[in-house]
Amino acid sequence: MSDEGRVLAGRYRVGALIGRGGMSDVHVGTDARLGRQVAIKLLKPQLATDPAFRMRFRQEAQSAARMAHPTIVRVFDAGEETVVDSAGHEVQLPFIVMEFVEGRLLKDIVHDGPLEPIAAVRVIDGVLTALEYSHRAGVVHRDIKPGNIMITSTGQVKVMDFGIARAVSDSATTVAQTTAILGTASYFSPEQAKGETVDARTDLYSTGVVLFEMLTGRPPFRGDTPVAVAYQHVSERPVKPSVINPKVSPALDAVVMHALAKNRDERYQTAAEFRADVDVAATGRVPVHQQPDEATLLFGAPTAALSTSELALRQLTEDETMTRTQRRPPAIWIWSGIIGVVVIVVAVMYWAFNLQPSDDLPSNAREIPALAGVTYEEAVQQLQELGLPASRIDETSETVAAGQVIRTDPPAAEIVDAGTAVTIWVSSGREAVTVPDVRNKSLEQAKADLQAVGLTPGAETRENSPSVPADTVLGTSPEGGSSVEAGSSVDFRISSGMVTLTDLTGQTLSAASSYLSAENLQLNPIPKPDPSCKSQPGSPVTQQSLPPGDVPQRSDVELTYCAG
Which structural domain, as residue segments, surrounds residue 389?
366-427
Query: Could you give the 3-state DSSP secondary structure of residue 474?
Result: strand
Residues 188/199, Cβ–Cβ less than 8 Å = no
> What mean pLDDT is predicted for residues 270-283?
94
Task: Give Cα separations from 310 to 38, 71, 104, 304 (angstroms).
Answer: 68, 52, 62, 11
Task: Give Cα separations from 420 to 375, 384, 435 (angstroms).
Answer: 21, 11, 43
| Domain assignment of residue 351, yes or no | no
Query: Could you give the 3-state DSSP secondary structure of residue 353?
Result: helix
Is residue 300 scored above 50 in pLDDT?
no
In terms of domains, do 449 and 413 share one? no
pLDDT of residue 183: 42
In terms of domains, do 477 and 413 share one? no
* CA neighbor of 476 nearest in space, from 507, 446, 516: 446
Among residues 248, 282, 316, the one where a domain terminates is 282
- Cα separation, 258 vs 267, whole angstroms: 5
In terms of domains, do 444 and 418 share one? no
Query: What is the number of H-type helices and E-type strands within the chain?
Result: 17, 24
In terms of domains, do 66 and 94 share one? yes
In terms of domains, do 181 and 230 share one? yes
Residues whose CB is less than 8 angstroms from the CB of residue 103 and which lie 6 or more positions away in sequence, other chains included: 150, 151, 152, 153, 158
- Cα separation, 475 vs 17, whole angstroms: 40
Side chain identity at 98, as an amino acid letter?
M
- Cα separation, 457 vs 477, whole angstroms: 10
pLDDT of residue 447: 93
**pLDDT tens for residues 350-383?**
776 665 554 455 566 788 899 999 999 999 999 8
Is residue 254 scored above 90 in pLDDT?
yes
In terms of domains, do 438 and 533 share one? no
**pLDDT tens for residues 112-138?**
999 999 999 999 999 999 999 989 888
Binding residues are 41
Residues 234/175, Cβ–Cβ less than 8 Å = no
- Cα separation, 527 vs 540, whole angstroms: 11
Residues 469/462, Cβ–Cβ less than 8 Å = no
- Cα separation, 138 vs 163, whole angstroms: 11
How many structural domains comprise the chain? 5
**pLDDT tens for residues 388-398?**
898 899 888 87
Q: Which residues are catalytic?
A: 143
pLDDT of residue 526: 94
| Domain assignment of residue 403, yes or no | yes
| Domain assignment of residue 296, yes or no | no
> What mean pLDDT is predicted for residues 329-355?
74
Lowest mean pLDDT among 55-59, 238-242, 277-281, 423-427: 55-59
Lowest mean pLDDT among 54-58, 342-346, 406-410, 423-427: 54-58
In terms of domains, do 23 and 122 share one? no
pLDDT of residue 52: 66
> What mean pLDDT is predicted for residues 284-299?
58
In terms of domains, do 404 and 483 share one? no
pLDDT of residue 331: 63
| Domain assignment of residue 332, yes or no | no
- Cα separation, 192 vs 104, whole angstroms: 28
What secondary structure, in 3-state letters, does 18-37 show? EEECCCEEEEEEEECCCCEE
pLDDT of residue 315: 41
In terms of domains, do 395 and 508 share one? no
Among residues 73, 99, 125, the one where a domain terminates is 99
**pLDDT tens for residues 77-99?**
888 888 777 677 777 788 889 88
Binding residues for ATP are 41
- Cα separation, 474 vs 160, whole angstroms: 50
10 Å CB burial of residue 229 (0-12, 13-18, 19+) is buried
In terms of domains, do 126 and 207 share one? yes
| Domain assignment of residue 181, yes or no | yes
> What mean pLDDT is predicted for residues 53-64?
69
Please tell me whether the peptide bond between 250 and the residue prior to it is cis, using omega within 30 degrees of 0. Answer: no
203 or 53, which is more confident? 203
| Domain assignment of residue 287, yes or no | no
Phi, psi of 162 (to 5 degrees): -65, 135
Residues 151/119, Cβ–Cβ less than 8 Å = no
| Domain assignment of residue 334, yes or no | no
Instruction: Look up the CATH number of the domain holding residue 82.
Output: 3.30.200.20
**pLDDT tier at 161, thresholds 50, 70, 90:** confident
In terms of domains, do 415 and 487 share one? no
Longest dimension (CA), the chain: 160
Among residues 66, 99, 132, the one where a domain terminates is 99
Residues 389/383, Cβ–Cβ less than 8 Å = yes
Number of neighbouring beta carbons within 10 Å of residue 165:
24
**pLDDT tens for residues 14-33?**
999 888 766 678 899 999 88
548 or 171, which is more confident? 548
In terms of domains, do 271 and 376 share one? no
pTM assigned to the model: 0.51
| Domain assignment of residue 305, yes or no | no
Is residue 470 scored above 50 in pLDDT?
yes
> What mean pLDDT is predicted for residues 540-548?
93
Instruction: Look up the CATH number of the domain holding residue 555.
Output: 3.30.10.20
